[in-house]
């Protein structure tokens, strides 16, 4: 997660107020019959279920172990601009090429004299004019290896990609993106979106961001459709992306909480008007008693005690959360890849 922004993952006064309003409306007779219908995403398909069932925790952990080795061999960090980051780019690109994807490493500028690389991989099948995009940031902070932040997002997407394969039987193309310089004001994802033509932006059906999926005292958070204003809620259709991810998490046995966007790698896509969702498990905010009752863990303690620290290593990952999010993201990607070739419009 970026250094310059903090997520709000604790339940605050705004959400208590919303809950109170809902209760008041019910008491005065304004029931669900007068409320807008909940957004619905594409239905589960056999291909989506097969992908969700195919991904494994072992596969995701193997990717985390690879990122840890890279950090260990690179001075303990994978920060953008360091050898650890460049080795991470090469590792991810190699994994995706081996899985049969069309892989590129487009550059972005970080200053007048320096460019760095993202990794972008797309299926060779599916409609290239209707693309499902999912991404995670590949860089760490300078102070640590970044295994939860955001090795877990990278690992979940790589496991999903390798199980999907580069030439699956899908209707819409799927693009996996791994961003640099998220920890330096979102330079990788921003540079990528800014460099797209109008037609290339229009071809993107939705974007799903994965950031910190294994916080040790984490929760189950989804972004899209909650908050005030488009920067928090996302563009129209974002609630549908969030609803689909929520349904996939529910299938793993948990109930997610929907929270606003606060400006991570989702932000450039939101600003471009692309329906956007987010998956995360919490950072330096503290778990509320209500959240602890719902999900377990320690109320009053931060979601990730090693956030942006040297101790963000393999021991800093809640593998139960990582497994559930990997499964849910795979199911979500599968549903949109085999759904209608149009942007989600409700919510």
Catalytic residues: 182
State the Cα–Cα distance between residues 197 and 202, nearest whole angstrom.
Answer: 9
3-state DSSP assignment of residue 127: strand
Extract the runs of DSSP E, i.e. beta strands, from 10-54. none
Which structure tokens are listed for 104?
């590129």
Phi, psi (degrees; rounded to nearest 5) at 245: -65, -40
In this structure, the strands spanning 114-117 and 107-111 are: antiparallel
What b/e readout covers 170-207, taking b as 16+ CB neighbours within 10 angstroms? bbbbbbbbbbbbbbbebbbbbbbbeeeeeeeeebbbbb
Contact 252, 327 (CB under 8 A): yes
Cα–Cα–Cα angle for 57, 184, 207, rounded to 5 degrees: 50
Per DSSP, 226 falls in state: -
For 94, the 3-state DSSP assignment is helix
Query: Could you give the strand order of the β-sheet that contains 172-179, starting from the edge strand earlier in sequence?
Result: 102-104, 119-122, 172-179, 127-137, 204-210, 276-280, 221-223, 257-259
């Amino acid at each position: 997660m970026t250094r310059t922004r903090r997520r709000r993952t604790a339940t605050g006064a705004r959400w208590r107020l919303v809950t109170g309003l809902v209760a008041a409306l019910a008491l005065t007779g304004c029931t669900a019959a007068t409320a807008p219908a909940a957004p619905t995403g594409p239905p589960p398909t056999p291909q989506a279920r097969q992908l969700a069932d195919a991904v494994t925790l072992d596969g995701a952990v193997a990717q985390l172990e690879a990122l840890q080795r890279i950090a260990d061999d690179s001075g303990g960090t994978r920060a953008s601009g360091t050898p650890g980051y460049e080795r991470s780019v090469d590792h991810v690109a190699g994994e995706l090429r081996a899985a049969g994807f069309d892989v590129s490493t487009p550059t972005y500028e970080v200053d007048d004299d320096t460019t760095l690389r993202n990794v972008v991989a797309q299926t060779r099948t599916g409609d290239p004019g209707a693309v499902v995009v999912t991404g995670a940031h590949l860089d760490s902070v300078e102070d640590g290896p970044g295994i939860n932040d955001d090795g877990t997002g990278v690992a979940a997407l790589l496991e999903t990609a390798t199980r999907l394969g580069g030439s699956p039987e899908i209707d819409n193309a799927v693009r996996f993106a791994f961003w640099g310089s998220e920890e330096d004001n979102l330079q990788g994802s921003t540079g990528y979106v800014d460099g797209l033509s109008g037609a290339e932006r229009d071809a993107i059906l939705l974007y799903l961001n994965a950031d910190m999926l294994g916080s040790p005292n984490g929760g189950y958070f989804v972004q899209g459709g909650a908050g005030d204003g488009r920067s928090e809620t996302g563009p129209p259709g974002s609630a549908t992306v969030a609803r689909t991810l929520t349904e996939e998490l529910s299938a793993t046995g948990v109930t997610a909480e929907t929270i606003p966007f606060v400006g991570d790698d989702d932000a450039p896509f939101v600003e471009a008007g692309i329906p956007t969702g987010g998956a995360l498990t919490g950072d330096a905010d503290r778990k509320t008693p209500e959240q602890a009752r719902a999900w377990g863990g320690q109320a009053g303690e931060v979601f990730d005690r090693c956030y942006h620290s040297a101790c963000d290593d393999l021991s800093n990952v809640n593998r139960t959360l990582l497994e559930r999010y990997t499964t849910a993201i795979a199911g979500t990607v599968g549903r949109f890849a085999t759904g209608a070739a149009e942007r989600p419009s409700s919510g």
